[in-house]
Amino acid sequence: MAYENVILVLVAVGLILFGSKKLPELFKSLGRAKVEYEKAKIESKYELAKTEQTLKPQEEKMTGRSILTRDKLEEMASKLGVAEHESISDDELKEKILERLRQGS
């Protein structure tokens, strides 16, 4: 019941600050931002899965570090804002990327 009161107060404050004409526009822009965020999150999950599936056979054949894998991982880490991704191993980087993706969902 207390949450209902908070919502009513927020709507009233919004009406006072933004006016009745600007408030729907504000909510529309917030809705669009949320949709774009969800799209980006889904796209990054898809790219991670696609990269892992594509590169897994290559990793099994190679004994050394896969340049293609590392480049893709670093690109994804940069997009997700994973700090210090240059100084950690591929496996640690994969774990951090997956952790960041789980935090976003």
* Tens digits of residue pLDDT in 23-79: 788 888 889 999 999 999 999 888 888 887 776 665 555 545 555 577 788 888 888
**pTM metric for this prediction:** 0.41
Q: CB under 8 Å to 90, separation ≥6 — which residues?
A: 65, 66, 69, 70, 73
